[in-house]
Structure 1
């Protein structure tokens, strides 16, 4: 199979039929073998009924229905696990991503041998204050932190080699950082393509300003995990050891100075009257706790199996 189109969605009943017809037209005109995987992330409207109808009419349509709303990352992970295409295209279901971009994205993966191609909505039709400006700040921070020179990390329109989506595990709200996750797994041929962005035709956006706050917090998380996620002792153990020895030598110095003054017959004060005693003691305690945190983290990584953080209620045509 040439292409799998993976589409996570939440309450997009107005756009689904139009979106599928558009995708099918593009695929047929380019003679692609394809499948369209809709992942219903707990919709409360008639989205799932429309997906069921499409799957009965078209064998290329496949559906996954979650038990409840788990989030876009979990929806993408479920779609990635079941996608069979040599090239996997992700896009949003709100018609703001254009299926006309699919052939060129496919060619970039197959002919240019990119591992991943991320869309860049250079001209956007979103609200400037609530989406465009925060998005620019977010993408600037992501570029500086990750080392990837992408302009639009959060663009839903992306293309992947199949081996990439089978390797990368997406959880939490890490869908924004799939290029970074792919880079961390050794896929370095990552490109970018300017794509057409369209004004929302139906409904309202499902994301608020809080997604950018969460995005920055996730950026810190993924920056840490990319460096120390598989070796937490290298971080916690290092700082724990440094703090312990700082406290130990501070305490040793305090004790040595007291003994020296006693040997010289000089007046001394109680060790507990010296504020450095408490600084040294606190430093040793914190250092020990950090070292234990690193040790426990190593044990957790080695003993915890990979788990899915979502429950699929129904599947269609798989």
Structure 2
């Protein structure tokens, strides 16, 4: 009963692998290490360096390790990059998953958990947004994930495979024990950028759009702590193992914070000030995105533990300070608040 985690050396994937290993699960990882780090994996977890779309590699891993479930994180996630290079996103997200699913079907794997995104909704008609809301992605990133959801639906109808597609809202924070976190250079996550600014690694943080029809003019996001997110995956795995039907679930907390509120939360926990520069709206950005979480809370045995913006910011900051010191501590120090 082994679980294959694709992208398991990346930000969310490494948290997942730690959680599975702590729970006594047998885990194996496939990761091409383009944005992941082998050092983030727990000792003893096998790592196969390669592409999740390499069917020969995947089939060999499935057979060698007796894989019965796949949790699929591998993919590209930057909205602006997808606008500039859409074909790369359809290759890395949609085509890779097609090949992975083909290997899974041939290998007799019948449980599949997919990391989808709230970007499939585009600008929703109302918030909080439920799973049955229209899907109108504004970026190739969102479209590539929606295409994969459609594939999953069709594969499950044709083969002995059940899936849970988790539509992530804004994943943030780091392992409370400080073992793993977001370490990708040039990451575009808001909280990551804010804690980089708080530790003096950035001279400023850019806020794109202050003229949205929101209380303070900036975009609103539903942040979810990465550790709560991976526990939702563990709950999804238990749900499938108990015979649950294929389902798509929002994965957030159901509360929204504006970009400016998030920056202020980081300033408070860091007790440091940093510069904010205001810029025009970016193409592909969604104005307000808050999850309707009633379905996930009623379907899965899942109770979030870190549903607090300052807690998320505190864990992100602690991880960033560790990275900053490990990388030499070079950079301009932010001012004390």
Provide the TM-score with structure 1 as the length reference: 0.30
Q: Which structure has the highest helix share of the two?
A: 1
Q: Which structure has the highest strand share of the two?
A: 2
Larger radius of gyration between Structure 1 and Structure 2: 1
Provide the TM-score with structure 2 as the length reference: 0.29
Greater relative contact order, per chain length (Cα 8 Å cut-off, separation 6+): 1
